[in-house]
Amino acid sequence: MLSLKSTEILRLGIANLLVHPGRSVLTMLGILFGVCAVVATLAIVEGISLKMQEEVLKMGATNIIVAARKPAESQSASTGNQGHALAYGLTYDDAERIQSSIQGASVIVPARKIPVTARYLTRRNRVEVFGTVPWYTETYGIEVTHGRWLAPLDLKKMDNVTVLGSSLAVELFPHEESLGKVIWLGENAYRVIGVLAPRGSGGTRAGAAGEDFDRVAYIPLTSASRRFGNVILDRSVGSHSFEMCELHEITVKLASAEQVRPAARIITSLLEKFHDPKKKDWEVQVPLDRLDALERTKWLFVVLGVSIAAISLLVGGIGIMNIMLASVTERTREIGIRRALGAKRRDIVSQFLVETVVLSTLGGAIGVFVGVLMAWGIPWALARVAEILKVGGEAALSNLSRTVVTPGAVILALSASIFVGIASGVYPAYRAAQMDPIRALRHE
């Protein structure tokens, strides 16, 4: 295509841009900011998405969580109907049925949750007692920092032992060793046998938003049934409510991700069969589905962010075109001279196109650089702002605590800027090439 060696044309283009360095820089700014916006937006979206993915994966991609749901909660609680116990939720029978119907279910973990007050000496705290089984650790990654986790023998003997979540351990035992101490959970005393590493909150989980895994006392499921019975009295401020619920949660862990969806269908039909269809008191949660939903949401944000950035790239492109049209007019005489001295139309086209492409590519490259710096700086700056405003970093800002610049984003941004350079250069270059050399030579 080019009748001249491209390096020669490139050198000429750069030399021409350097004639008006200030103008060239200003022309470049539109593209620079556009590309910077693309890179930074994609980095933020990628960061949020990765963080959410991790949270979903914390729930386990090969898990199915069957959770008890309290039907029409408002009725029983707010009317203060104190004599009536609301019966709902999953049963041990459900757990057994699931166990026998799902092949390839490696682990089935039943659990129940009971809100109680935990006490040690004068320190007291509202916590959740989580009755579960020793193999709970096989479905959720749990790290024991002190002592040990629940053992099969604890379950068998219905021992009054407990493993504390990290925050709870600190709240009850701020200064002293917790292992071996006896704490009160409701009406019963339990010996602390272990403390867990922080797990974070299950914020992304449906129906359990804000659940704090670190303020939980884990006890053997058998002990929970025996000490607390199936009726739970929840004494919250100003009202009492009774509930009857055998199990709050059954986690089914499967060997592979492919088995998750078929198994979820079987569990759903099982529960539909054995539970009252009028009062749906259960729910099947598949973390894998949430992962897919997350992926779709991410693309929505990517498209949104890129569209906004595309508008600024468009504006940048119009800016370049505008300047190039002015430059073509200003250099009419030069075009005439070059044509008289042997330049073909396509030489003139490539000369002006090279100028716009060099401008936009350079703008794009600087934009990528600034965008990467911004992607770096945003989490840092937000952390500083949170510090100054004394907002907990855990709060709304935590989703922005990380940004990820992917190679794809950089390639996208750079190719977009090159494209804008070509698109905005074609018309001015064409105008320059179509000039009549005789008239161009006479141009003042």
Partner 1 sequence: MSLARLIDLTKTYVMGADVVVEALRGINLSVEEGQYLAVMGPSGSGKSTILNLMGCLDRPTSGRYILGGEDVSDLGDAALSEVRGRRIGFIFQSFNLIPQLTALDNIEVPLFYQGVHRRDRRRRSMELAERIGLGPRARHKPMELSGGEQQRVAIARALVNDPLIILADEPTGNLDSKTGKEILALFDDLSSRGRTLIIVTHDEAVGRRTHGIVRVADGNIVSHEKN
Stretch that binds partner 1, among 13-21, 26-34, 375-383, 393-401 (CB under 8 A): 13-21
Site for partner 1 (CB under 8 A): how many residues? 25
The span of 12-20, 111-119, 138-146, 372-380 binding partner 1 (CB under 8 A) equals 12-20
Distance of closest approach, residue 384 Cβ to partner 1, in angstroms:
47
Q: Which is nearer to partner 1, 304 or 340 (CB)?
A: 340
In whole angstroms, how close is the CB of 25 to partner 1 at the nearest point? 17
Task: Give the integer Cα–Cα distance in Å for 289 and 65.
Answer: 12
Measured distance CA(318)–CA(322) in Å, rounded: 6
Instruction: Report the residue number, 350 or 417, with the smaller CB distance to partner 1.
Output: 350
**Residue type (1 letter), 220:** P
* Cα Rg, the chain, nearest whole Å: 33
| 11 or 123: CB nearest partner 1 | 11
Q: Which is nearer to partner 1, 11 or 226 (CB)?
A: 11
Residue 333 Cβ vs partner 1, minimum distance, rounded to whole Å: 7
- Torsion sign over Cα 20, 22, 25, 29: negative
Q: Which residue number, 17 or 127, has a Cβ lying nearer to partner 1?
A: 17
Beta bridge partners of 144: 196
Contacts of 50 by beta carbon, 8 Å cutoff, 6+ apart: 402, 404
Residue 254: count of CB within 10 angstroms of its CB: 24
Residue 113 — φ and ψ, nearest 5°? -125, 130
Are 375 and 405 in contact, with CB atoms under 8 Å apart?
A: yes
Residues ≥6 apart with Cβ < 8 Å to 213: 165, 199, 200, 201, 202
What is the contact mask toward partner 1 in residues 93 to 112, using x (rule: CB under 8 A)? --------------------
Q: Which is nearer to partner 1, 415 or 434 (CB)?
A: 434
**CB 296, min distance to partner 1, A:** 53
Contact between 430 and partner 1 by CB under 8 A: the answer reads: no
x/- mask, partner 1, residues 368-397, rule CB under 8 A, reads: ------------------------------
Reported as type and span, the H/E element at residue 66 is strand 63-68
Closest CB 331 distance from partner 1, rounded Å: 9
The nearer residue to partner 1, 343 or 413, going by C-beta atoms, is: 343
Considering beta carbons, is residue 223 or 327 the nearer one to partner 1?
327
2 vs 121, which CB is nearer to partner 1?
A: 2
Backbone angles phi, psi at 179, to 5 degrees: -60, 135
Contacts of 414 (CB under 8 A, 6+ apart): 35, 361, 364, 365, 368
Site for partner 1 contains 22 (CB under 8 A):
no
What distance in Å separates the CA atoms of residue 269 and residue 265, rounded to the nearest whole number?
6
- Angstrom CA distances, 290 to 209, 259, 263, 298, stand at 14, 16, 16, 12
Q: Which of 3, 79, 103, 117 binds partner 1 (CB under 8 A)?
A: 3
Closest distance between partner 1 and the C-beta of residue 381, in Å?
43
Site for partner 1 in 392-421 (CB under 8 A): none
Which residues are CB-neighbours of 82 under 8 A, at least 6 positions away?
240, 241, 242
- Residues of span 125-184 touching partner 1 by CB under 8 A: none
Q: Which of 6, 19, 153, 280 binds partner 1 (CB under 8 A)?
A: 19
Question: Nearer to partner 1 by C-beta: 383 or 441?
Answer: 441
Sorted by sequence, the CB contacts under 8 Å of residue 237 that are 6+ apart come out as: none
Minimum Å gap between C-beta 443 and partner 1 is 11
For partner 1, the closer CB: 201 or 332? 332
Min dist. Cβ of residue 15 to partner 1 (A): 7
Which token pair is 334?
């030069």
- Residue 441 binds partner 1, judged by CB under 8 A: yes
- How far apart are CB 343 and partner 1 at their closest, in Å? 5
Distance CA 349, CA 434 (A): 9
At residue 254's C-alpha, the angle toward residues 250 and 257, to 5°, is 125
Query: What x/- string results for residues 324 through 353 when contact with partner 1 is judged by CB under 8 A?
Result: ---------xx-xxxxxxxxxxxx------
Residue with tokens 């103008």: 23
Q: Which residue has the tokens 């060793």?
A: 177
- Residues lying near partner 1 in the complex (CB under 8 A): 3-5, 8, 12, 15-16, 19, 333-334, 336-347, 437-438, 441
